[in-house]
Structure 1
Amino acid sequence: MTEHPAPTILVLAGKRDGKLDPLAERAGVCHKAVVPIGGRPLIGHVLATLEQAWADARIIVSIHDPAILEQVEEVQRLRAAGRLEMAKAQHGIVESVEEASKRAEWPLLITTGDNALTTGNALRALHAHGMDAGADVVLGLARREDIQAAHPDGQYGFYQFKDMAISNCNLFWLRDPRAFSAVEAFRSGGQFFKNRSRIIKAFGLMNLIRFLLKLETVDGAMERLSKRFGVKVVAHRFEDGRLAIDVDNERTYRVTEELLEAAI
């Protein structure tokens, strides 16, 4: 595998719809990012992994109120090393990425503040795939079989393609600003995949029909998306099913806690 200069890493940690997350409310904290799990705040696990993935990668955390993270040990350490800065989270995912990207050097590797099971190997593999494949956008995915092998309760929702059922790993890679054309569909955030009209507008009716009828392979779907958006979109399939498990609710909190303990 060719060694490439480190990307800028963006951690999305904004509040969805500005509301207090139920896990944060249960834990008695003001933000999901600082919910304790496995002996440290949730985002602390993510930042510790990013810190080790590359010795010199810049890290940007997108959050509505940076003061929330002032007492997080990993934030203090990375800031002292000159490696971490904050960006103001916006009202939607794409808007938050655009705002943060003003401070970034490309490529941009994106993850989330609740992705506690991600690994340095996964981050480096995603970056290398994007660089070596000449891609504009890379989506990190895992197969249903690998996720269920990691933990039977790790993930219940999957996207079924002709060749496999997959789930995303909250790991994305963008080569440069041109890649925004492929994520434009997600502007304004919200529950995108529950809104059929937004899906049709973004991906096209025939593409949607092929997906619903399971007529498309994962790679075939990436080729169709590439043609629609005019940028090269590729999938990177991880064998480590843990990567598709993030902390979304009580169930995935329990699963993540169990897997963190097992890794010690």
Structure 2
Amino acid sequence: MNLRSLSPDQGRAGPPIRLIVLAGRPRKGAHPLAERFGVSHKCLIPLAGKPLVAHVLQTAANHPRIASLAVCIEREGFEPIYDVLTRLPGRGTVALVPARDSLADSVRAAAEGWEGPVIVTTADHALLSESSIDALLDTLETADIAFALTRREWVEAAHRAGHGHYLRLRDGEFAACDLYGMSGPAALRAIEVFRGDRSGQRIARATGVLGLLRVMLGMETLCGAIARASRRLALKVGAVILGDGSQAIDVDDDRTYAVVRDLLETRGEEQIEAAPRLAVA
């Protein structure tokens, strides 16, 4: 298992991409932040002068390889999402897709009819940067499916209160960046890993019960976990480790809302350029 350096200029050319933005409500009902701000969905709460989801959609609109956008949300959210989209630069195609009961089914529905690579993120990822998308696309050049992580120390460097959940492996603690990619339709079967709500169930589907135990006991390395997942899924799995710890910080509660608001204000909403990163291929 090799680690390879990624230069900032890699991956800028290639096939067009469909970006899927997951914006649906939790199954248990309205999100507390949505209730606090009096809106139907968390993705519509105001943040730094515009709806939360607008930050993600703006990044998508600016990226040269994103030619198709699919937003998964309940039908009652179609109209406010459409209003957000009308304020963004018009480029590529946009589809509003009714959210399904599970993340896996929503992604499958949103990817329907698209023959090229697909990237999936969440509507609360207001700090998502173009450089992180580039890094994931670089990894997809040699992988069937890919996902983005960052190290705990880099999250804490971005903001000391930025994240609360880490994957503890033998070679470090990692945070997920809610950014995933699939090279094409044949790789879509990997989304079954995300069926259900518990992270332990997802790890077990990807690596097997033995892999889950090794991860839980801190005995597994990142490369080892990826190798197990590749064998179990019969697909080549890749991961990119982003040097920008803010990429693991999304808006989930009052604390992270304040963190993301502060980071957006501090950085003037400029694209957050990732530090040098490594890809696990």
TM-score normalised over the length of structure 2: 0.86
Q: CA deviation at 1:180?
A: 3.2
Match for 2:82 among 59, 66, 70?
70
Comparing both structures, which one devotes a greater share of its residues to helix? 1
Q: In structure 2, the residue corresponding to 1:17 is in which secondary structure? A: coil
User: Quick one: distance in 2 between partners of 1:110 and 1:194?
Assistant: 20
Q: CA deviation at 1:193?
A: 2.1
The match for 1:222 is 226
The match for 2:41 is 31
Q: In structure 2, the residue corresponding to 1:118 is in which secondary structure? A: coil
The match for 2:136 is 126
Structure 2, unpaired ranges of 5+: 1-9, 269-281
User: Quick one: distance in 2 between partners of 1:258 and 1:216?
Assistant: 35
- CA RMSD of the aligned region, Å? 1.8
Comparing both structures, which one devotes a greater share of its residues to strand? 2
What is the one-letter code of the residue matched to 2:251? Answer: V
Q: CA deviation at 1:64?
A: 1.0
Q: Which moved more, 1:108-117 or 1:202-211?
A: 202-211
What is the one-letter code of the residue matched to 2:153? Answer: E
Q: CA deviation at 1:183?
A: 2.7
The match for 2:179 is 171
Match for 1:262 among 247, 252, 266?
266
Q: Is the 8 A contact 1:63 1:86 kept in 2?
A: yes
Query: Are 1:54 and 2:54 an aligned pair?
Result: no
Q: CA deviation at 1:55?
A: 6.2
User: Quick one: distance in 2 between partners of 1:20 and 1:97?
Assistant: 21
The match for 2:116 is 106
Q: CA deviation at 1:83?
A: 2.7
Decide whether aligned partners of structure 1 residues 39 and 201 sit closer, same or farther in structure 2, where only a CA change above 3 A counts: closer
Q: Is the 8 A contact 2:20 2:118 kept in 1?
A: yes
TM-score normalised over the length of structure 1: 0.91
Query: Are 1:193 and 2:199 an aligned pair?
Result: yes
Q: CA deviation at 1:57?
A: 1.9
The match for 2:153 is 145
Q: In structure 1, the residue corresponding to 2:83 is in which secondary structure? A: coil
Q: CA deviation at 1:184?
A: 1.3
User: Quick one: distance in 2 between partners of 1:96 and 1:149?
Assistant: 34
Structure 1, unpaired ranges of 5+: none
